[in-house]
Amino acid sequence: MESVSGGCLQVVARPLLFISSVWVGSMAGGMAIGAGAAISDPLSHWSVIPEALLMAPLFLLSSWFILNFILVVAGLWFFIRTERDLTTWWRNSAVLFSLMVVLGGRSMVDGWEEVAMWTCWMIGTAVIVAAVVFIERWQSNRRAGELAHIAAFNAQRRAEMESRGIATFDPESSDD
């Protein structure tokens, strides 16, 4: 029954995880565009930031709309169908959608504003990647403790079986 409930949860969790990657990527791209545009008029753009955070996926409705639509559909399909680790897919899709937002909003800025926009985009992308890598490392370290516990239990069990005279398989001494 546990595997059925886990499977049912995945049906809901995977699309929500994809939506969050689109949202975070769109926010990162929108913030980069806002930071680039803020160079010419620093005070006027800060009032737009809270609204930009709430409406971040709408930044994908740009001149790149057709490509963005294809990428959203393909990304959702991959998120639902993949059997690989979802954190890697989440990271890649967030970076991709932030890039698509910045490419779509590139016409809003010129000159030094564009340099600032791309610099902010690279910094935001690096932050997203670093955060996901830290989460992956935390998950692997959390599992390492459980695996060490299982390995210790197996070694204890193997020692008990050998003391009783029962033959055990030792993977380190195999000839394969």
Range 94-116 average pLDDT: 88
Kindly state whether residue 173 falls inside one of the protein's structural domains: no
Residue 171: inside a domain: no
Q: Is residue 110 part of a domain?
A: yes
Q: What is the mean pLDDT of residues 89-94?
A: 91
Within a domain: residue 175?
Answer: no
Give the model's pLDDT for residue 141.
80
Q: Is 40 exposed, middle or buried (0-12, 13-18, 19+ CB in 10 A)?
A: middle
pLDDT of residue 125: 95
Band of the pLDDT at 11, cuts 50, 70, 90?
confident
Looking at residue 2, what is its pLDDT?
Answer: 44
Domain annotation covers residue 37: yes
- 46 alpha carbon, distance to own chain's centre: 27
> Once rounded to an integer, what is the mean pLDDT over residues 127-149?
86
Which one-letter amino acid corresponds to residue 4?
A: V
- In the chain, pLDDT over 90 holds for what percent of residues? 23
Has residue 123 got a pLDDT over 90? Answer: yes
Of 66, 120, 126, the residue nearest 94 (C-alpha): 126
Task: Confirm whether 120 is domain-assigned.
Answer: yes
For residue range 111-122, list pLDDT tens digits in order.
888 898 899 999
Report pLDDT digits (tens) over 140-174.
787 777 888 888 888 888 888 888 877 666 666 65
- What type of residue is 67? L
In a domain, 24, yes or no: yes
Number of domains in the chain: 1
Asked whether residue 108 is assigned to any structural domain, the reply reads yes
Domain that holds residue 142: 2-166
